[in-house]
């Protein structure tokens, strides 16, 4: 009798599981995944020449526009060198011009003419070089955004390659997270979901932008990148939250 009752219970449980609708099974597979907001573009602005900082036009947390001057360097030395290079160019051009006229009268040798021409080209190159150096005295923003961190101060001398400002573009914030690799069978670009951000306590619509190029064989996961669908000024890079992705029925 006990064996018959046990068999009947197992049969009833199997029938109940088979009768569970597909949406319910999908809900059981629902997973809460942590995600972090990251800027699409960010960089560290560094000095390209050695000079003293004369002015920093932005502050930490401040906004700036593309092309705006962020840092100005004291380039009085480079400016003087440019004037010297221009004077040398003027002298070289006059010498070359005079030698060309003398060459027409066969009063100067070919080698001397070619040397004066080469000196003119050299002087032009020096002027170009100094102009390039002066252009590096004013560091312009490569994109619109905000200052994350100011690493230097005005009147400080910086070396070539020394970091000065960390900046980011917060016009588009992306969500980065890991999902099970088996989800690649159904998770595609454009798939919509909700993300709840811890810092604001609110939920926002989002959609998948792209999926990673490789699967981690150890964790059997793949990186996914999504974007918040809409404009929400309260969101900032570095915020994190929880997303809820529900596999479609049958997955």
Give pLDDT tens digits for 118-134. 988 998 999 998 888 88
Give pLDDT tens digits for 124-181. 999 998 888 888 999 999 999 999 999 999 999 999 999 999 999 998 899 999 999 9
Residue ranges covered by each domain of the chain: 24-42+170-245, 45-166
**C-alpha span between 46 and 215 (Å, rounded):** 35
Tally helices (H) and strands (E) across the chain.
4, 12
* Whether 158 contacts 224, CB under 8 Å: no
CA angle 162, 163, 164 (to 5 degrees): 115
Q: Is 41 exposed, middle or buried (0-12, 13-18, 19+ CB in 10 A)?
A: middle
**C-alpha span between 108 and 3 (Å, rounded):** 122
Tell me the CATH number for domain 45-166: 2.40.50.100
45-166 matches 24-42+170-245 in CATH topology: no
DSSP secondary structure of 95-147:
HHHHHHHHHHTT-S-HHHHHHHHHHHHHHHHHHHHHHHHHHTTEEE-SSSEEE
**C-alpha span between 58 and 92 (Å, rounded):** 43
Average pLDDT, the chain: 85
Give pLDDT tens digits for 193-229. 999 999 999 999 999 999 999 999 999 999 999 999 8
pLDDT band per the 50, 70, 90 thresholds, residue 15: very low
**In CATH, 24-42+170-245 is 2.40.30.170:** yes
* Whether 41 contacts 163, CB under 8 Å: no
- Taking residues 56-81, what's their average pLDDT? 93
């Amino acid at each position: 009798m006990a064996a018959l009752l046990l068999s009947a219970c197992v049969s009833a449980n199997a029938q109940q599981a088979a009768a569970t609708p597909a949406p319910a099974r999908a809900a059981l597979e629902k997973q809460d995944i942590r995600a972090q907001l990251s800027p699409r573009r960010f960089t560290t602005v560094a000095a390209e020449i050695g000079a003293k900082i004369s002015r920093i036009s932005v502050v930490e947390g401040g906004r700036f526009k593309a092309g705006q001057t962020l840092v100005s360097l004291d380039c009085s030395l480079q400016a003087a060198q440019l004037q010297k290079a221009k004077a040398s160019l003027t002298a070289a051009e006059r010498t070359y011009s005079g030698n060309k006229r003398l060459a027409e009268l066969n009063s100067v040798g070919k080698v001397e003419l070619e040397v004066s021409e080469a000196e003119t080209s050299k002087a032009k190159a020096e002027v170009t070089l100094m102009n390039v150096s002066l252009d590096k005295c004013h560091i312009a923003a490569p994109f619109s955004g905000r200052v994350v961190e100011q690493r230097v101060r005005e009147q400080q001398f910086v070396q070539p390659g020394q970091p000065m400002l960390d900046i980011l573009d917060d016009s588009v914030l992306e969500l980065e997270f890991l999902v099970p690799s088996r989800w690649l069978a159904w998770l595609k670009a454009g798939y919509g979901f909700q993300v709840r951000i811890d810092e604001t306590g609110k939920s926002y619509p989002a959609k998948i932008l792209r999926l990673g190029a490789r699967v981690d064989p150890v964790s059997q996961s793949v990186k996914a990148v999504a974007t918040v669908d809409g404009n929400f000024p309260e969101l900032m890079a570095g915020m994190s939250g929880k997303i809820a992705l529900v596999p479609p029925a049958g997955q």
